[in-house]
Every structure is written in structure tokens, then in C-alpha cells.
């Protein structure tokens, strides 16, 4: 989670409606139009099915109530309006209560291709389609419950599990390798890179390995973990994940497959 942000979430009015400017809606239109085309043939079917259920508008930013209507009748989840950045306690509390946090700002035209903090496009387009899927929804709910009870030290390891599944996960399908991670599916560059580049290492998913794998948020990922199918997320949720966290802490982290982040000159 970023330490600071220049963005501020927009608050709903008394009727629960968030008012976006024409410029903000235009950014959404640009983002969703190009990414809808990009994910075809690259996203897993469960994501595509969820996208169809959400029926996201292309000419404006959707209202959270529209998303909640679909999530509520499919998996019982909701989205919750939050500030641009929230404490980890609040993040886990929301997930534990089947509420997915959504910061209600959208990136500027200058940051169309990359944004460090998650905006409404990343959260709605990247994650909400799969929240209509029972296996993904169950895994995310269980993850929130674990994180809420975990120590600060254990949460650092849990963050890696989330990163290599919910954010940057890949999955094998009958049609070949596909994407289910929202961090990939909301980025045109990484959507292509994750499947088509010969640079990253793609490994069969292991919860213990994922817990031990370092990552950086500001680069194309050097490692992706691949599920056998989306239902495997339900199976992962049945594991004793906190016992695996303890084992990962004892074993230590793998050697990073990336260079250290350069320090900015003071």
C-alpha cells in the first residue's frame, strides 16, 4: 500500500450518488474501451462471465449501487466506498465482512497506463467481475478473516498470497493459460506481458511458495503463479494458511528475481 497519494476519493451525495466530471467519465471510457478489447482471449471465462453480469457502462463511471445489486444477488458481496488509502486493519475488516473496498477516484489522463494506488477502474474492472464467482468470493472472504486476526509480521506474508492470487494470478484452462488477477486485468501492458512475454517465470501455484516470494509493485512481475483451475481457490481457502505462514517465516524468503528499487536522490 502506498504511503501517500495525490488523489482524493469522491463522496456520495445524500441520495448515495457520486458525481463525476465529464473529464473523469472520459478517462473511464478510454480505460474500459481499450481494456475490454485487451482481455478478450486472455482473461479466464469466470472473469468474462462476471464482466457480462456486471454489464459495466462504457460512457461513464458506474455507481457503487449498480455493482452492489449484481454482487448481492450472486455471492452476497458488496463494494464499500473508502478513502484513497486505508489502514490494513480496515482493509481486512471489510473483506472479512464481504465488502470490497473501492476508492472512488479515477486516475488522470497523464497516468492512464500505470497508477501505484488502486483507483475505481482497477477495483471495479479488475476485481469485481470475479467477485461474482463463488470460489473467488469465498477465498477473498477467508483471506479477510485471516488478515483481521493476524499479527503485523504475519500480514506481510499474507500480502504475498494476495498479490500472487487476487492481484496477479494466472490459471490453466482448456483454451490455454488465462488471467484472473485484477492487477493484470486492469493493465493493458501487463495483460499482454503476463501471457505473451518470455521473460517472466510461470510456476504451478504453491501457497507456501507464494508466501515466500518477494515482489515489487512498480515493475512487470518476474514471477506468476498458475492455478489448475479457478475452483482451486476454494481448495486453498481450506488449507491451514496460518500454519503455512509460520512455515514460510521459518524457511525465509526466496531470492528476489528483480533488482532493488533505486532510492530517489534527496
| Domain ranges for the chain | 22-251
- Give the per-residue pLDDT at 1: 37
**Binding site annotation covers 167?**
yes
> Per the annotation, does 127 bind a ligand?
yes
Specify the pLDDT at position 264.
63
Active-site option among 24, 186, 187, 190: 186
Q: Among residues 46, 127, 141, 187, which one is catalytic? A: 127
Does the annotation count 138 as an active-site position? no
Q: Is 19 within any annotated ligand binding site?
A: no
Asked whether the predicted pLDDT for residue 2 surpasses 50, the reply is no
Tens of pLDDT, residue by residue over 141-155, are 999 999 999 999 999
Is the pLDDT confidence value at 22 over 60?
Answer: yes
pLDDT above 90 coverage of the chain, percent: 90
pLDDT confidence of residue 83: 87
Q: Which residue among the candidates 122, 141, 187, 190 is catalytic per the annotation?
A: 122
Segment 52-84, tens digit of pLDDT: 999 999 999 999 999 999 999 999 999 999 988
Set 24, 46, 123, 167: catalytic member: 167
211-222 tens-digit pLDDT: 999 999 999 999
Q: Is the per-residue pLDDT at 200 higher than 80?
A: yes
d(CA 205, CA 188): 24
Known catalytic membership, residue 186: yes
By percentage, how much of the chain surpasses pLDDT 70?
97
- What does the pLDDT read at residue 211? 98
Q: Given a cut of 70, is residue 38 above it in pLDDT?
A: yes
Annotation says 9 is catalytic: no
Mean pLDDT of 95-113: 94
pLDDT in tens, 124-144: 999 999 999 999 999 999 999
Residue closest to 233 by CA, chosen among 215, 255, 210: 210
CATH class of 22-251: mainly alpha
Per-residue pLDDT, averaged over 247-266, amounts to 87
Average pLDDT, the chain: 95
Is the pLDDT at 3 greater than 60, yes or no? Answer: no
Residue 231 falls in the annotated catalytic set: no
Amino acid at each position: 500500500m502506498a504511503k501517500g497519494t495525490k488523489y482524493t476519493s469522491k463522496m456520495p451525495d445524500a441520495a448515495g450518488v457520486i458525481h463525476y466530471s465529464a473529464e473523469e467519465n472520459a478517462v473511464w471510457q478510454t480505460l474500459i474501451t481499450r481494456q475490454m478489447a485487451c482481455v478478450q482471449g486472455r482473461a479466464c471465462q469466470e472473469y468474462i462471465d462476471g464482466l457480462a453480469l456486471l454489464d459495466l457502462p462504457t460512457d461513464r463511471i458506474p455507481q457503487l449501487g449498480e455493482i452492489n445489486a449484481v454482487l448481492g444477488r450472486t455471492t452476497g458481496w458488496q463494494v464499500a466506498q473508502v478513502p484513497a488509502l486505508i489502514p490494513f486493519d480496515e482493509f481486512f475488516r471489510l473483506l472479512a465482512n464481504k465488502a470490497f473496498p473501492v476508492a472512488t477516484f479515477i486516475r488522470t489522463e497523464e497516468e492512464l497506463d500505470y497508477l501505484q494506488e488502486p483507483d475505481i477502474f482497477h477495483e471495479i474492472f479488475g476485481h469485481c467481475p470475479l467477485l461474482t464467482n463463488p470460489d473467488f468470493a469465498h477465498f477473498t472472504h477467508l483471506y479477510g478473516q485471516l488478515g483481521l486476526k493476524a499479527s503485523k509480521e504475519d500480514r506481510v506474508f499474507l500480502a504475498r498470497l494476495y498479490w500472487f492470487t487476487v492481484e496477479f494470478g494466472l490459471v490453466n484452462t482448456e483454451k490455454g493459460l488465462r488471467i484472473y488477477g485484477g492487477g493484470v486485468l486492469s493493465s493493458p501492458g501487463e495483460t499482454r506481458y503476463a501471457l505473451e512475454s518470455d521473460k517472466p517465470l510461470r510456476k504451478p501455484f504453491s501457497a507456501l511458495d507464494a508466501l515466500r516470494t518477494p515482489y515489487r509493485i512498480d515493475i512487470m512481475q518476474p514471477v506468476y503463479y498458475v492455478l489448475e483451475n479457478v475452483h482451486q481457490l476454494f481448495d486453498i481457502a481450506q488449507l491451514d494458511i496460518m500454519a503455512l505462514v509460520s512455515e514460510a517465516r521459518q524457511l525465509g524468503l526466496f531470492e528476489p528475481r528483480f533488482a532493488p528499487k533505486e532510492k530517489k536522490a534527496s
